[in-house]
């Protein structure tokens, strides 16, 4: 037993001590070339992303530079790309115009539109997702068809309806027509379809009706959808221009975008005051988007319905 074990131990030691076979030189060279190609591809993609981002961000940056520039710096050649932080143009816009009033008008219209949109979208989305009734698929198809209709094609009939309802030149005509959102209905439908049916069964055993179930159970679980619909609706309502320009004539109820069109005539030669008004109009929605942009990605992707939270 001992004499046969010795050659086996020697053979095992020789196998362990033998070096691993060297890779062919061609394989290592190909791997290096692949790594270099992948690195060059990443650098090219990032360069393209930076170039496109710069192309889109530069006009906004130039508006900020012009708004904070001095009187002579606006027309300086070569131009100064670094803002000098003169705030006298902002002070003039805030103190000598009705800018705060226009911002309050826009804020009231936007918040009211968001509240109505979330209410109608949540109820419609819940009905299409959980309620069993004849024609639900047909109604969902009609909602999808609305997206394909251009808004400009509906302006004349909508104006006629608003005129016959005597709501022209009012806050109502700026809020009620946008109280329903096809995107919101579709998004809430997809989220509610992902909720376990057992939640509704448990709520029904407790005597909870459909409306109370939506507000107390389904809607809190669909937080990403709520934030997404609220943010996108707020931005859309804040940026409304064509609709209030056509439907309203009184400056006392017009929103901020229509006010900007008036300022383009008032401050036609004063670019500092005009761009200051633009910065004041853009600042709220830019800050809101930067703070809540991750919720948009989560809501649209539908990765988290709040069930596990």
Instruction: Return the CATH number at 200.
Output: 1.10.3720.10
**Is 127 domain-assigned?**
yes
Residue 255 has pLDDT above 90, yes or no: yes
For 116-132, the pLDDT digits (tens) are 999 999 999 999 888 88
Rounded Cα distance, 208 and 197, in Å: 14
What pLDDT, on a 0 to 100 scale, did the predictor assign at position 41?
85
Q: How many domains, the chain?
A: 1
Is 258's pLDDT higher than 80? yes
pLDDT digits (tens, 9 = 90+) for 153-169: 888 999 999 999 999 99
| Contact in structure between 169 and 248 (CB atoms under 8 Å) | yes
How much is the pTM? 0.77
Q: Domain limits at 287?
A: 98-301
Mean pLDDT across the stretch 23-50? 80
pLDDT at 36: 79
Residue 50 in domain: no
Does 309 fall in a domain? Answer: no
Q: Does residue 238 lie within any of the structural domains?
A: yes
Q: Which two tokens stand for residue 157?
A: 């009939």
Domain membership of residue 157 (yes or no) is: yes
- Region 44-60: what's the mean pLDDT? 91
**pLDDT score recorded for residue 309:** 43
Q: Please check the confidence at residue 89 and state whether its pLDDT lies above 70.
A: yes
Please give the pLDDT value at position 1.
Answer: 47
DSSP code per residue over the chain: -HHHHHHHHHHHHHHHHSPPPPPPHHHHHHHHHHHHHHHHHHHHHHHHHHHHHHHHHHHHHHHHHHHHS-TTGGG-SSPP-S-----HHHHHHHHHSSHHHHHHHHHHHHHHHHHHHHHHHHHHHHHHHH---TTHHHHHHHHHHHHTS-GGGGHHHHHHHHHHTT-SSSHHHHHGGGS--HHHHHHHHHHHHTS-HHHHHHHHHTT--HHHHIIIIIHHHTHHHHHHHHHHHHHHHHT--HHHHHH---TTT--HHHHHHHHHHHTSS-HHHHHHHHHHHHHHHHHHHHHHHHHHHHHHHT---SS--
**Is residue 73 a part of any domain in this protein?**
no
Q: Which pLDDT belongs to residue 272?
A: 86
Does residue 77 lie within any of the structural domains? no
Is residue 281 included in any domain, yes or no? yes
**pLDDT for the residue numbered 268:** 62
What number is the average pLDDT over the span 171-199? 90
Residue holding tokens 């989220």? 191
Question: Which residues, other chains included, contact 125 with Cβ-Cβ below 8 Å and sequence gap of 6+?
Answer: 184, 185, 186, 187, 188, 189, 190, 191, 192
Under the banding of pLDDT at 50, 70 and 90, the label for residue 35 is: confident
């Amino acid at each position: 037993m001992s004499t046969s074990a010795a050659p086996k131990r020697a053979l095992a030691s020789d196998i362990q001590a033998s070096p691993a076979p060297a890779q062919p030189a061609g394989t290592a060279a190909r791997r290096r070339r692949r790594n270099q190609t992948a690195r060059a591809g990443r650098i090219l993609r990032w360069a393209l992303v930076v170039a496109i981002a710069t192309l889109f961000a530069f006009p906004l940056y130039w508006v900020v530079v012009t708004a904070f520039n001095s009187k002579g710096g606006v027309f300086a050649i070569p131009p100064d790309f670094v803002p000098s932080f003169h705030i006298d143009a902002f002070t003039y816009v805030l103190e000598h115009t009705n800018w705060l009033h226009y911002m309050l008008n826009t804020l009231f219209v936007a918040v009211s539109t968001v509240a109505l949109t979330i209410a109608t979208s949540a109820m419609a989305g819940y009905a299409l997702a959980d309620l069993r009734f004849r024609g639900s698929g047909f109604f969902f198809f009609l909602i999808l068809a609305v997206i394909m209709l251009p808004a400009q094609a509906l302006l004349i009939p909508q104006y006629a309806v608003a005129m016959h309802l005597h709501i022209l030149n009012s806050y109502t005509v700026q809020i009620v027509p946008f109280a329903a959102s096809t995107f919101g209905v579709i998004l809430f439908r997809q989220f509610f379809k992902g909720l376990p049916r057992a939640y509704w069964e448990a709520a029904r055993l407790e005597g909870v009706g459909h409306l109370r179930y939506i507000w107390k159970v389904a809607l809190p679980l669909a937080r990403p959808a709520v934030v997404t619909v609220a943010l996108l609706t707020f931005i859309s309502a804040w940026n409304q221009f064509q609709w209030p320009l056509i439907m309203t004539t009184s400056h006392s109820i017009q929103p901020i975008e229509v006010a900007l069109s008036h300022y383009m005539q008032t401050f036609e030669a004063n670019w500092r005051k005009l761009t200051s008004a633009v910065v004041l109009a853009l600042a709220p929605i830019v800050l809101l988007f930067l703070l809540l942009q991750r919720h948009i990605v989560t809501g649209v992707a539908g990765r988290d319905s709040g069930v596990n939270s």
